[in-house]
A = this chain, B = another copy of it.
Amino acid sequence: MTRKFPIFKSSFLFSYLIIILLQLLYSVVDGRLLSLSKPQPNDAAAYARWLVSQNSWGVLKNVVSFSDGPPGKGAGVPYFYLTTLDPTAANALKDQRSSLTVSEYPIGTCGKTDPENPTCAKITLTGKLKLVDVDSKEAEFARSALFAKHPEMKDWPESHNFQVFKLEIEDIFLINWFGGPKPLTVNQYLHWKMHKMGISL
Select the residue from A56, A58, A85, A114 with max chain B CB neighbours within 10 A. A114
B-chain residues with CB within 8 Å of residue A173 when the two chains form the complex: 62, 87
Q: Are A122 and B153 in contact (CB under 8 A)?
A: no
Contact present for A114 and B180 (CB under 8 Å) = no
Contacts of A122 in B (CB 8 A): 62-63
Q: Which of the candidate stretches A20-28, A42-50, A100-108, A133-141 sits at the interface with the other chain?
A: A100-108
Who on chain B is nearest to A180 by CB? B85
A57 touches B105 (CB 8 A): yes
C-alpha gap A122/B61 in the complex (Å): 11
Q: Which residues of chain B are within 8 angstroms of A114 by Cβ–Cβ distance?
A: 65, 150, 152-153
Say whether A11 faces chain B, with CB atoms less than 8 Å apart. Answer: no
Closest beta carbon of chain B to A186's beta carbon, Å: 19
Q: Which of A83-127 contact B (CB under 8 A)?
A: 85, 87, 101, 103, 105-106, 113-117, 122, 124
Q: Does residue A81 face the partner (Cβ distance < 8 Å to B)?
A: yes
A116 touching B64, Cβ below 8 Å: yes
A172 to chain B, nearest CB (A): 13
Interface size on A, residues (CB 8 A): 29
Q: Is A13 an interface residue (CB 8 A)?
A: no
**A-B pairs with lowest CB-CB distance, top 10:** A57-B115, A63-B122, A59-B59, A65-B116, A63-B103, A59-B101, A114-B152, A106-B106, A114-B150, A65-B115
Binding site for B on A (CB under 8 A): 56-59, 61-65, 81, 85, 87, 101, 103, 105-106, 113-117, 122, 124, 150, 152-153, 173, 175, 180
Q: List 17 A-B contacts (CB under 8 A).
A: A56-B115, A57-B115, A59-B59, A59-B103, A61-B101, A61-B124, A62-B101, A62-B175, A63-B101, A63-B105, A63-B116, A63-B122, A81-B116, A87-B173, A114-B150, A114-B153, A117-B152
